[in-house]
Chain A
Amino acid sequence: MSEKQPIDWLQRGHNKAVNNLVIAGSALVVSSVLLILFLSLMMRSELIDDCIVQTNMVASNSNAALLFDDEKTGQEILSSLATSPSFKSGAIYYISGEVLARYSQDGNAPLETLPNRSASGNHTFSARHLEVTREISSNEKAIGFVALQFGLTQFYHRLAGYSALILGVALGALLIVQLFLSRMKITVNRAELHLDYLAHSDPVTSLPNRRAFNRGLEDALSAAAHTGGEVGLIMMDLDNFKVVNDTMGHQYGDEILRLVAQRLITSSRSNDIVCRTGGDEFVIIMREINESIVDLDTIAKRIVNVLSDPFHLGEHEFFLTASAGSSLYPIDAADSETLIRKADTAMYSAKQSGKNTFAKFTPEMDTSAQRRMVLEGGLRKSLINQELMLHYQPQVALNSGKIVGVEALLRWYHPELGSVSPTEFIPVAEESGLIVDIGQWVLQTACLQMADWITNGIAPIRVAVNLSIRQLKEQRLMQNIHSILDLSGLPPSLLELEITEGIMMENVQENIVLLKNIREAGIILSIDDFGTGYSSLSYLKRFPVDLLKIDRSFISDLPGEGKAFITAIIAMAHSLGLSVIAEGVETDAQMRFLKEVGCDMAQGYYFARPKSPSQLLDMLREGYIEIPPLF
């Protein structure tokens, strides 16, 4: 894609050089002409002066000859001018106009006509002659005059010589300037090309950068528009590159990016343009695809595959995964911007549907992406518009049926969209970062609610709130928790914070510190969705947690294949001194099994659906949910 520009530039540079040369040439011609003109005027006035001096000499020498009517001497005086190269002819006249003597250089006609004369003398400069007249005086009286005619041949020869010299010098100067300019032009062009390379390539991988990508895509699209061809766009980003970069350092990160670039180049066709458009974002422009869809799919899948092979760097081995999305011109979009957006949507969709995969753009993605945008926009206003509210689901002790806590669950009622499912809007809130503010609101609302219930005579129970990864990364999390507890007056032991297993494992060292702080504040910690992630027992031992919440997917398998697993978890948790709570209990059989294997607590539709505070009030006053005996 970049082959076209330099040629274009060189051409432009060449035209510029020609222009410069023409301008410089014109300037030189003008100045040369002026110089020659000036020179000719100088030479002319010099010649006139010279001839006047000669005429003066003749005039002063010839008065005696005139007085004594001596024609011969007059001629002698005139002939003394023979040594003057430009002298042609001359005559000495009496004051009456009668001629005393004439003289002419060989070959030249004698001066016949009586030249114009005046008291001070005169000269006439014609194209071929210079005629000078001078009075001859004696005893301060005019007694006659002398007229001399000078030829201009020599004058013209000298002028021509000087002109040739000046023009020659100007031409020489022009040639030198041209030589210099063209050399400079070459240097400048080289520098420009280098600058262009720098401006359009990524320093790490040497791949074209975002700017070059934009230009390349425009070029590819306009070329395709001409030929009626198709252009495919594959956009991908590395799912977990940031982790590598953060843990191993930028040098490793850069090295891996170079390896990724290599793999991308080798797995794409020679005609494709691989660009690095961002930190861990790569784009491939595919031109001239024949079996478009097949091509795109093949390459995109190959890329995702080839990137999931381990990367070896020194002694280290890294595993990366990539999510890729593709879009196709002109089917998916008619312009580059839309094409990029659609590939991006497809990539996002691929990421959503589990990483390390490829998705090609479909119109449905657009609607889901649009939906996402609507949700994000709505969420931004939800807090201010008081569209969010909390529902609470009771948690029951399986041995007694006593309500030992409630889990706060977020609900959103949008004035136009209606009730939006948390499974839909929570991820949007997570990605947009809105979860931080929302999470804060949830925490505060739940604490205030529980404090309120307690003041209204409800027996104190725990309220469980989910923490998101974003909240964990907030520096002020502990501070916020403390101020909320202070504000609500809720004892820390009645607050339970739920953190999912996946989040906990993401940044183990830091999380352990944070969790310890939370624990030391007297707050209860639970691991949410236990069993879906790493479920590493060794970590479990290191994390200062109180509760395990068995994921609802294991409970829904009950009774049946999940039995052994759940039995093992409960036994292990108890041996580590942790309590266990089962989520999503819906049937009597499930409840019975859990009670049988010694599960401490349970939560689910079987006992109570999540309810609004007012709906839940009676049940909380009661404090118990009846559990049928096992036998």
Chain B
Amino acid sequence: MSRLNPISFWRKMLVAFAFMPGLLVAQQVHENALKTAFVYNFVMFTEWPQEAFKGSNSINICVNAINDMQQAMLTLDGKSAGGRHIKVRQLRNFDIKQTQCHVLYLDSIDRKKWPTLKKLVARTAILTISDEDGIGQDGAMIALSLQDNKIVFDINQTVARESQLTFSSKLLRLARTVK
């Protein structure tokens, strides 16, 4: 229960910070935490094919080592989801071949690399979550965005199916759009 508390906590915080526009940095930090919570929830409502866990029982969340989100994301490390432990992995130069990833978190700094990455991750059981509109519209499975000051997400189920990933209907229901 405590692990999920941050959601409502940060939700409250978010409301609190809305009245303090001056503390932008702080706001950014809390937005990252919120996004991290979203990522965690996505993990819980996603099903990977069995082969994706060969040799290990952890769900690996991979983030660009130079990403701002890295700090927030590390809070997920060690948590459990669906009987597996979450491991947060930092990618350098997107050595995606060397590192086993189940989730790949992408945002604006990964934009340039995306066309290359996209080819690498195609048809592999890696859940791609993007916080950047460009990547989001270009084949990421889940695309986060802000709408009316709220985080919303869109799902590209076509790509996910190609990678043999299944989203819970509960998740689909919450998505703004499902492709």
Binding site for B on A (CB under 8 A): 61, 63-65, 67-70, 73, 76, 94-96, 98, 138-139, 141-143
Report if A68-B41 is in contact (Cβ < 8 Å); known contacts: A61-B170, A73-B174, A96-B8. Answer: yes
A385 nearest CB across to chain B (Å): 124
B170 and A139: CB pair below 8 A?
Answer: no
- B1-56 with Cβ < 8 A to chain A: 1, 3-4, 7-8, 11, 38, 41, 44-45
B142 nearest CB across to chain A (Å): 12
Asked if B178 lies at the interface with its beta carbon under 8 angstroms from chain A, I say no
Closest to B79 in A: A139
Q: Determine which of B4, B80, B82, B173 lies in contact with A67 in the assembled complex, contact meaning CB atoms within 8 Å.
A: B4
A73 and B173: CB pair below 8 A?
Answer: yes
- A67 to B34 CA separation, bound complex (whole angstroms): 11
Report if A63-B170 is in contact (Cβ < 8 Å); known contacts: A139-B80, A139-B82. Answer: yes
Binding site for A on B (CB under 8 A): 1, 3-4, 7-8, 11, 38, 41, 44-45, 80-82, 168, 170-171, 173-174
B4 and A141: CB pair below 8 A?
Answer: yes
In the complex, the 10 A-B pairs of residues with the closest C-beta atoms, listed nearest first: A64-B170, A67-B41, A68-B174, A70-B174, A143-B4, A141-B1, A73-B174, A64-B174, A94-B8, A73-B173
Residues of A within 8 A of B173 (CB): 64-65, 73, 76
- Could you say which of A65, A96, A139, A142 has the most chain B C-beta atoms within 10 Å of its C-beta? A139
Report if A67-B3 is in contact (Cβ < 8 Å); known contacts: A96-B8, A139-B80. Answer: no
Q: Determine which of A73, A98, A139 lies in contact with B8 in the assembled complex, contact meaning CB atoms within 8 Å.
A: A98
A384 nearest CB across to chain B (Å): 121
A67 and B8: CB pair below 8 A?
Answer: no
Closest to B173 in A: A73
Residues of A within 8 A of B3 (CB): 141
- A65 to B7 CA separation, bound complex (whole angstroms): 12
- A297 to B80 CA separation, bound complex (whole angstroms): 128
- A65 to B168 CA separation, bound complex (whole angstroms): 12
How many residue pairs, one in A and one in B, have C-beta atoms under 8 Å apart?
43
A69 and B1: CB pair below 8 A?
Answer: no
Known contacts A64-B173, A68-B38, A142-B1; 14 further A-B pairs (Cβ under 8 A): A61-B170, A64-B41, A64-B171, A65-B170, A65-B173, A67-B7, A67-B41, A69-B11, A76-B173, A96-B8, A98-B8, A139-B80, A139-B82, A141-B4
Closest to B150 in A: A69
Closest to A137 in B: B1
A620 nearest CB across to chain B (Å): 150
Q: Determine which of B1, B38, B81, B82 lies in contact with A143 in the assembled complex, contact meaning CB atoms within 8 Å.
A: B1
- Could you say which of B44, B80, B82, B170 has the most chain A C-beta atoms within 10 Å of its C-beta? B170
- A54 to B3 CA separation, bound complex (whole angstroms): 28
Closest to B37 in A: A67
B40 nearest CB across to chain A (Å): 9
B177 nearest CB across to chain A (Å): 14
A136 nearest CB across to chain B (Å): 11
- A141 to B82 CA separation, bound complex (whole angstroms): 11
Residues of A within 8 A of B45 (CB): 64
**Sampled A-B contacts (20; CB under 8 Å):** A61-B170, A63-B170, A64-B45, A64-B170, A65-B174, A67-B41, A67-B44, A68-B174, A73-B174, A76-B173, A94-B8, A95-B1, A95-B4, A96-B8, A98-B8, A138-B44, A139-B44, A139-B81, A141-B1, A141-B3
Residues of A within 8 A of B174 (CB): 64-65, 68, 70, 73
Residues of B within 8 A of A68 (CB): 38, 41, 174
Residues of A within 8 A of B41 (CB): 64, 67-68
- A549 to B173 CA separation, bound complex (whole angstroms): 146
Residues of B within 8 A of A64 (CB): 41, 45, 168, 170-171, 173-174
- A142 to B4 CA separation, bound complex (whole angstroms): 9
